[in-house]
Amino acid sequence: MNLIEIALKRSVFGWVLMSGLIIFGAISLNKMGISQMPDVNFPVLNITINYPGAAPEVIENEILDETEQRLLIVEGIKEMRSSATQGTGRITLEFDINRNVDVALQEVQTAISQIRYPLNVDPPIVRKTNPEEDPIIIISVYGDRKLEDMMRWTDNTFMDQIQFIPGVGEIDIGGFPDRNLRVWLDLNKLRRLEFTVNDIVEALRSQHLESAAGQYSDGKQEVRVRYLGEARTVQEIENFPIQRRGGQLIQDRVFHIKDVAKVEDGLDDIRRIARVDGKTAISFRIFKQRGTNEVEVADSVIKKLNEVEFPEGLQYRVNVNFTQSTKSTVDLTVEKLWAASIITILVCFLFLGNFQSSLNILFSIPTSILGTFVILYFSGFTLNIFTLLALTLSISIVVDDAIMILENIVRHSRMGKTSFQAAYDGAVEVLPAATAATLAVLAVFLPVIFMDGVIGKFLFQFGITMSAAVILSLLEAVTITPMRAATFLGKKPKMSKLEIKLDHMFEKWGEYYGSILAVCLDHKWKILFVSFLMFGGSMFLLTKIKQEFVPSQDQNLIILTAQARPGTALDETIKMAEPLQKILNETKEISGYMISIGPGQLFVPIALVDQTQRDLKHTEVMDRIRARSKEAEGLRISMRDISARNLTTGRLNPIAFNIRGPDLQILNDKAQEMIKILEDEKLGVDVDTDYRLGQKELSVTPLRDQLIRKGVSADALSQVLQVSIAGLRVGQYMADGKRHDIRFKVIEEQIKEKQDINKLYVRNNFGNVISLSELVETEHKQALQSINRINRQRAISVYGNLAPGQSQSTVLAQANQIAAKVLPEGYTFNLEGAAAGFSSSFQNMYLVLLIGIVVAYMILAVQFNSFRDPIAVLMALPFSVTGAIIILWMFNSSLNLFSFIGLIVLMGIAKKNSIMLVEFTTQIREHDKLDYREALLKACPVRLRPILMTSVATVAAAFPLVVGGGMGHETRQPMGLVIIGGTIVSTIFTLFVVPQFYLVLNHMRFKKSED
């Protein structure tokens, strides 16, 4: 007893199976998390090492070189990027995508722990980074209160209320300098009292300490002894006595720290501020925990914000809510899913003319789709753009098997058979074709699961979803569909007028199709020549289609960055940002923004009015801001959208590459030359580099002869400079239940120019105070703002946006050619970020398509027990590509990641009709003992109706992806176009060209056997 017979004889089995898939699928759906992209664990580690006050060259030589050398022993590093800036070194390690990032993290920490860094270097911080774990929402607390007051309230009250919301992960704070106890040294008072900065540092360090002194026993119990030497208040530190001057005990009078310094409970040096509506702000970038529903988490955060009691003068604003685009995309995709399902049922009704049959197919959709959610849930997947698009695209495939079997059951029923016999005979007859078609479809999607690279990890969920839906659709088609058909048809099915009319119509169409096919078979070589000519022409047309990683998407958000001249102070940058804020305030398409300002740098996430309520596209808003950017004098403005967000590591700009070599000056000259060519040839806009030369630097060089003559150590001299200018952390203190750094520094107003260095004094070995003017020489120079390296080579990154109308593939190819011309020997060109993702993903997808076709051929060869018949079946594929290319060109759409996904789906769909045709022809030839031509002329008209039915259903199911706007329309449309165009063309060629191949190949076999 086979599965079909079991389902028919034990109908309860079929109903329970269907109910179980629907019920448990619905439960799984409600438990799944929602995110824009799949949860992928990117193997990327960031290492941050702070060395306060150190120049980029010092960071490179003393920190990065040794650290990178140690990290070379860690296995699986794909790329090592490092950056040296003032006071900070950063290293980013990208591992092979299959590397266990947690194990890599442990190995990196072990390697770094063996390094001995210079004194005053903060312990390295190693963190995992994941593009999928970008913040889901950015909020700001702003108002007219002092920054210190805002900081204390947010740190002590606000943060805890947000942190404990279910689903909230890390919270990153911007415009939030750490709370510090500041000891501001007064140079005038130090000089008058003959103290040096080192004397004051030593006074606090020797007295502000706390330790455990052990325990003693009184015979009955132990008593712990604890030495409480730490100061608890600002006043206590102010009153610490300065007991020594240059190591010598002071006996004539008592000096206190407050006599030479101002002590205050303040903040670390402010290097970046945030502004909202021109007011001081603190921004919070809120991340979700992995696997949680990001929409629910963001809604919970906003709900909590409405419940929080803000102090007078403070308020909040949601600057960016990334989950709005996620929610809109998910909702619209679900809406398209429902629309595709309804349209498919209507198409089936129009072809069958029978309500019961259409109802049967209607049940097949929720059974397969909801059943797929069970597999997705237990696989740990989320509802994201890839899983939902897979389900939407699978609608036509899901109903294909049901249509194929149901149409054949109805045909057998009209032969006068009982409903049971018709269901059994019809299902058994089509079962081989349905199985072969399903396996051939799986052959296309399964290779996607094994795709390499970052995109491969995303498409893994797409492939699993499609495969699960297809397998369940086959299970549903061979068990539940025949059972429902036997139930719905009844014992003596009576045909309605519509059914009779449709039958007559399709009979006439079949006869007409058969007569045309007979003519085509008589001119098979001409038909084949014209077919291949069309295919070749479409390949030429491919060069006219734009190719890009992802299409530009309007997600109601753009990112603006701006650069001022290197070395521009924070206060000056704040002034320079005012015209830019004026431009943004006057742009009516902008609903809000937050501006983050650092020395010479601006970062502005801009929220746009919802696209349904504005006339301009987001790119047009960017062009408008770009046109007015000249009003913001001194700022170089660049903008981008977030189309490639979460899809790749590195820069998201469509133009992104780096050049590497030993000499930074040569690298900069060649980078500027390439930028000029790209802009002059209208290939790119907003093109810039990460190289910043022109940072004003004061070089302080010790006069070593003078140091020896005066008896001053270089170490003492260095410490005076560090404490006075960079600041020195000396211990910690407790306040509000938390520990904060104590930081020494000279009052900032006392060191403003080169001559102020002469106000500093150092003590020599004899206890005398010597001015630095006698020990050093100073000189102003132009220095680097940062030094960047990739794989231990110095590098400069070039990035920007595509000029209007340009293709990403063309621009990147041109950039490669330009680099080959301008770069000298020893210098290399490499893509990065989204540009590298574009290159690698397309290479992988071409390979996936090729492997899918090979596997499909192997499966079909086994199914047909022939090496030739599968070739005839697969000839539908190149012509489906022809249809896809033609429709993309007609609608001026691009070949991108999403249209390529549509192409993969099309490869699975296009084969099903040709399988149905070839498999039935083989059955007819063997059963009726006909030759190949007669078998084709008898079988093809019979299969016309189910072929047209599945093709129209496929086109109809893809139609909602193309029409309408809304969030994510730019990604859905190319997929829908590819499927519609490819299906229409492949159906025509399946009906007329595949029979020619079948006939030619089998005639060749027949002649060979005669020979």
Domain extents in the chain? 1-31+353-494, 41-129, 196-259+696-782, 498-554+832-1010
Q: Which two tokens stand for residue 498?
A: 């519509």
**Confidence grade of residue 393 (pLDDT, cut at 50, 70, 90):** confident
pLDDT number for residue 677: 92
Beta carbons of 254 and 236 less than 8 angstroms apart: no
Alpha helices in 308-354 (DSSP H): 322-352
Report the alpha-carbon distance of residue 130 to residue 646 in Å, rounded: 8
Residue range 895-952, pLDDT digits in tens:
888 888 888 888 878 887 888 888 888 888 888 888 888 888 888 888 888 888 888 8
Burial class (CB in 10 A: 0-12, 13-18, 19+), 223: exposed
Q: Which two tokens stand for residue 307?
A: 């419940």
Quick one: CATH architecture of 41-129? 2-Layer Sandwich (3.30)
Give percent of the chain with pLDDT exceeding 70: 96
Residue range 182-239, pLDDT digits in tens:
999 999 999 888 898 889 998 998 888 887 778 888 778 888 888 888 888 889 999 9
What is the H or E stretch that residue 858 is in? helix 833-864
Q: What is the DSSP code string of 939-984?
A: HHHHHHHHHHHHHHHHHHHHHHHHS--STTHHHHHHHHHHHHHHHH
Give the number of other Cβ atoms within 10 Å of residue 610's Cβ: 13
Q: Identify the CATH class of 498-554+832-1010.
A: mainly alpha
Secondary-structure percent of the chain, ordered helix, strand, coil, rounded to 5 = 55, 20, 25
**Stronger pLDDT, 704 or 354, i.e. the higher one:** 704
Residue range 400-413, pLDDT digits in tens:
777 778 777 877 87
Q: What is the DSSP code string of 85-141?
A: ETTEEEEEEEE-TTS-HHHHHHHHHHHHHT--PPTTPPPPEEEEE-GGGS-SEEEEE
pLDDT number for residue 133: 59
Beta carbons of 288 and 326 less than 8 angstroms apart: no
CATH number for region 196-259+696-782? 3.30.2090.10
Does pLDDT of 995 surpass 80?
yes
pLDDT number for residue 876: 84
Does pLDDT of 156 surpass 50?
yes
Report the alpha-carbon distance of residue 371 to residue 378 in Å, rounded: 12
Average pLDDT over residues 99-111: 89
**Confidence grade of residue 828 (pLDDT, cut at 50, 70, 90):** very high
**Confidence grade of residue 7 (pLDDT, cut at 50, 70, 90):** confident
Q: Which residues contact 124 (CB under 8 A, 6 or more apart)?
A: 47, 48, 49, 67, 112
**Stronger pLDDT, 458 or 28, i.e. the higher one:** 28
What is the H or E stretch that residue 988 is in? helix 969-992
- Report how far apart, in Å, the C-alpha atoms of 718 and of each of 701, 712, 715, 777, 784 are: 11, 11, 5, 14, 21
Does pLDDT of 869 surpass 90?
no
Beta carbons of 992 and 980 less than 8 angstroms apart: no
Q: What angle do CA 176, 177, 181 make, to 5 degrees?
A: 140
- Report how far apart, in Å, the C-alpha atoms of 667 and of each of 90, 249, 822, 823 are: 21, 57, 11, 8
Does pLDDT of 347 surpass 50?
yes
Beta carbons of 478 and 427 less than 8 angstroms apart: yes
Residue range 753-785, pLDDT digits in tens:
888 888 888 888 888 888 888 888 888 887 777
Report the alpha-carbon distance of residue 685 to residue 678 in Å, rounded: 8
Does pLDDT of 1011 surpass 60?
no
Report the alpha-carbon distance of residue 937 to residue 359 in Å, rounded: 32
For the chain, the average pLDDT equals 85
Is the domain defined by 1-31+353-494 classed in CATH 3.40.640.10?
no
Residue range 606-628, pLDDT digits in tens:
888 888 888 888 888 998 998 88
Q: What is the DSSP code string of 132-195?
A: GGS-SEEEEEEESS-HHHHHHHIIIIIHHHHHTSTTEEEEEEES-PPEEEEEEE-HHHHHHTT-
Q: Give the bridge partners for 256, in sequence order.
A: 241
**Confidence grade of residue 1009 (pLDDT, cut at 50, 70, 90):** very low
Q: Which residues contact 600 (CB under 8 A, 6 or more apart)?
A: 563, 564, 565, 566, 567, 568, 573, 692, 785
Asked if the domains 1-31+353-494 and 196-259+696-782 are classified in one and the same CATH topology, the answer is: no
What predicted TM-score, i.e. pTM, was given to this entire model?
0.78
Report the alpha-carbon distance of residue 885 to residue 540 in Å, rounded: 10
Residue range 291-322, pLDDT digits in tens:
678 888 899 999 999 998 888 889 998 888 88
Residue range 791-805, pLDDT digits in tens:
989 999 998 888 888
Report the alpha-carbon distance of residue 843 to residue 240 in Å, rounded: 69
Report the alpha-carbon distance of residue 622 to residue 616 in Å, rounded: 10
Average pLDDT over residues 106-111: 92
pLDDT number for residue 490: 60
Could you tell me how many residues make up the chain?
1011
